[in-house]
């Protein structure tokens, strides 16, 4: 019985030493790497849709031909706008009206072309086909005064009958409150249908 106890004690001591031997080999290495959370991709912002060319928000630029309706026989090309044309207009003709207090004349020219199609075989008159006006930065529309420019310039409403394939340049001048001129646009409205196109006016200040 005593011999058996000694054997058991020896075995226990051996196991203990074996376990202790494992411990003295040093601590178990533990990885310090921490997994990074998956990066969430930044969504690409969707650009806002651009307003249609020829709208008030995106008028036809100077020198760019445009129409108020794709099927229209008329094509218009606007020139640069003179935002302070009062002296020029008054000097152009003694019968031109002086602007009201706080207003000034805004002036430009449009090159107007008529398509050569059967529907205009008998000609068409700009004065009865469309109206040109100035839309101020205040949102109000100011109508053409029908001013008479100095020769050889002609008001667009006085160009007379044009026939297919013809091109002419007409003047338009409008009295507008001075504060409403910068950033405004020219509007051309059809006289025969509900259609309008906008062209660049005086640059915003």
Residue 6 has a pLDDT of: 36
Mean pLDDT of the chain: 85
Answer yes or no: are the C-beta atoms of 114 and 162 closer than 8 Å: yes
CA distance 162 to 146: 19
Assess if residue 95 is contained within a domain: yes
- Give how far the C-alpha of residue 201 lies from the chain's centroid of Cα atoms, to the nearest Å: 14
Residue 35 has a pLDDT of: 53
Query: Cis link prior to 91 (omega < 30° from 0)?
Result: no
Assess if residue 105 is contained within a domain: yes
* Across 53-77, average pLDDT: 98
Assess if residue 99 is contained within a domain: yes
Assess if residue 186 is contained within a domain: yes
Say how many domains are in the chain: 1
Assess if residue 172 is contained within a domain: yes
pTM of full prediction above 0.85: no
Nearest to 177 by CA among 122, 140, 123: 140
Assess if residue 20 is contained within a domain: no
Instruction: State the residue range of the domain holding 107.
Output: 74-200
Assess if residue 107 is contained within a domain: yes
CATH number, domain containing residue 132: 2.60.40
Assess if residue 168 is contained within a domain: yes
Residue 69 has a pLDDT of: 96
């Amino acid at each position: 019985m005593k011999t058996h106890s000694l054997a058991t004690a020896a075995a226990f001591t051996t196991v203990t030493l074996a376990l202790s031997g494992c411990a003295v080999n040093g601590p178990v290495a533990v990885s310090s790497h921490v997994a990074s959370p998956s990066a969430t991709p930044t969504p690409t912002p969707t650009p806002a849709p651009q307003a249609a060319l020829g709208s008030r928000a995106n008028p036809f630029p100077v020198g760019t031909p445009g129409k108020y309706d794709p099927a229209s026989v008329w094509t218009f090309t606007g020139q640069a706008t003179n935002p302070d044309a009062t002296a020029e207009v008054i000097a152009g003709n003694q019968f031109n009206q002086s602007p009201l207090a706080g207003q000034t004349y805004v002036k430009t020219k449009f090159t107007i072309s008529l398509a050569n199609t059967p529907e205009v075989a008998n000609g068409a008159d700009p004065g009865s086909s469309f109206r040109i006006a100035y839309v101020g930065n205040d949102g109000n529309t100011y109508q053409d005064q029908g001013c008479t420019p100095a020769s050889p310039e002609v008001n667009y409403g006085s160009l007379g009958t044009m026939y297919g394939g013809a091109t002419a340049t007409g003047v338009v001048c409008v009295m507008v409150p001075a504060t409403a001129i910068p950033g405004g646009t020219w509007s051309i409205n059809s006289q025969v249908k509900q259609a309008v196109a906008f062209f660049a006016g005086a640059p915003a200040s």
